[in-house]
Amino acid sequence: MTHRILFVCLGNICRSPAAEGVFRARAPHHATDSAGTAGWHIGKPPYGPMQSAAKARDIKLDDLRARQFVVEDFERFDLILGMDAENIANIEALRPIGNQTPVRLLTDFAPNAGADHVPDPYYTRDFDGALDLIETAVEGLATHLEG
Ligand code: 4NP
């Protein structure tokens, strides 16, 4: 079955494009996109250091461009995945009355990784650590969707 999955972070230049890139490489038959709750980086490609860290793992992000999360995304996607609790709160604040699209943390799919969110590498500078966690969670997500 094909799913429509949206990955969401704050700026849409580090964590959510990385998650999209890892996921589309792992499970290319699904429809994917990513978005930021903030509009600061609209139209920009993923942040250079994140692109480099991903490329070292054979994950290409260079075709992706940032956009802002919009209320229509609740209808366009059947699963919305945030990177941290702030992302989830910002998404939920826009949920239309009656909409029931699941909004979850990506790390919910990495229950043994010891992390309850994906720390923002734009601030931590730990791009490889973020990718490690994203790869673990994406594997869990892909397995969940196959099941
Ligand atoms: P992201 O990281 O949410 O993983 O894309 C950020 C990128 C940029 C900013 C914040 C977070 N910023 O403040 O510009």
Among 7, 8, 9, 37, name the best residue to mutate to test ligand 1's pocket (greatest count of ligand atoms within 8 A of Cβ). 9
Among 7, 8, 9, 10, name the best residue to mutate to test ligand 1's pocket (greatest count of ligand atoms within 8 A of Cβ). 10
> What was the pLDDT predicted at 70?
98
Bridge partners (DSSP) of residue 36 are 9, 68
**Nearest atom of ligand 1 to the alpha carbon of 16:** 4
> What was the pLDDT predicted at 147?
79
> What was the pLDDT predicted at 58?
98
Q: How far is the CA of 147 from the centre of ligand 1 (A)?
A: 33
Q: Which residue positions in the chain have pLDDT lower than 50?
A: none
> What was the pLDDT predicted at 113?
97
**Nearest atom of ligand 1 to the alpha carbon of 15:** 4
Q: How far is the CA of 97 from the centre of ligand 1 (A)?
A: 29
Q: Classify domain 4-146 at the CATH topology level.
A: Rossmann fold (3.40.50)
* Sequence-ordered list of residues with C-beta below 8 angstroms from that of 103, at least 6 positions apart, any chain: 80, 81, 82, 88, 91, 92, 95
The residues spanned by each domain of the chain are 4-146
Does this model's pTM top 0.85? yes
Encoded amino acid at 45, one letter: P
